[in-house]
Amino acid sequence: MDTSETYIKMCDQAVKQTDIGEKWKSLPQKMRLGTFICFRSVIGMVVNKEYGKPKNDLFYLIPETLAFRVWCDIESEDVKVIETNKNFSDEGFPLFRQDQIQEMMFGKDVGVQTISMDISSFSITQAGTSISIQGTMEQLWLAFYMHERHQMKWLPEKQKWIKI
């Protein structure tokens, strides 16, 4: 999973500028499990809720936080701390996985051949232009999603998505 500063900023800005966060929340719960959520001073992972957790557990109070109410199903999901000493907003945002972006883009009934033809065409078309992504597969897929669904491209020097 890409937890680079670049990808974190790409996801944060995508959530702030589009409806991708709402689309992510509509994914089936099993697809949300394992997602990294950035909020306050932590990066946490969405996991199945452990019933009967001790009250001194760090995340016993998480339902009181805005990020947890926004991004998790309080009845069935919890957050496991992965990294600390970060600086994110209270609202937080998910770091989208490649499979989640593909699901939001194509749904579950599309064939692998269609997906690979679309992303290959996007990669070839964008090579050498300012929209070109030189990072991870998550960065490439998020750039593809933002380009196709919102007609936006990532400007690394400004660290934001802009309309094209």
Q: For 86-108, what is the mean pLDDT?
A: 88
Q: For 76-84, what is the mean pLDDT?
A: 85
Spell out the domain ranges in the chain.
5-159
Lowest mean pLDDT among 87-91, 118-122, 128-132, 150-154: 128-132
Q: Sorting pLDDT into bands at 50, 70 and 90, what band is 124?
A: very low
pLDDT of residue 114: 57
Q: Of the spans 47-51, 110-114, 156-160, which averages the highest pLDDT?
A: 156-160
pLDDT of residue 65: 63
pLDDT at 157 over 60: yes
> Taken in order 45, 23, 163, 147, is the CA torsion positive or negative?
positive
Q: Of the spans 57-71, 114-128, 131-145, which averages the highest pLDDT?
A: 131-145
Burial class (CB in 10 A: 0-12, 13-18, 19+), 102: buried
pLDDT of residue 123: 56
pLDDT of residue 64: 46
pLDDT at 72 over 60: yes
Site of tokens 């992504």: 133
Task: Tell me the per-residue pLDDT of 29-69, one tens digit each, with 9 for 90 and over.
Answer: 899 999 999 988 889 899 888 755 555 555 555 544 667 77
> Taken in order 85, 3, 69, 147, is the CA torsion positive or negative?
positive
Q: What does the H/E/C string look like for the chain?
A: CCCCHHHHHHHHHHHHHCCHHHHHHCCCHHHHCCCEEEECCEEEEEEECCCCCCCCCHHHHHHHCHHHHHHCCCCCEEEEEEECCCCCCCCCEEECCHHHHHHHHHCCCCCHHHHHHHHHHHHHHHCCCCCCCCCCHHHHHHHHHHHHHHCEEEECCCCEEEEC
Structure tokens at 1: 């999973």
Angle, nearest 10°, between helix axes 98-106 and 112-126?
100
Q: How far is CA 160 from CA 110, 127, 132, 134, 135, in A?
A: 30, 20, 14, 16, 16
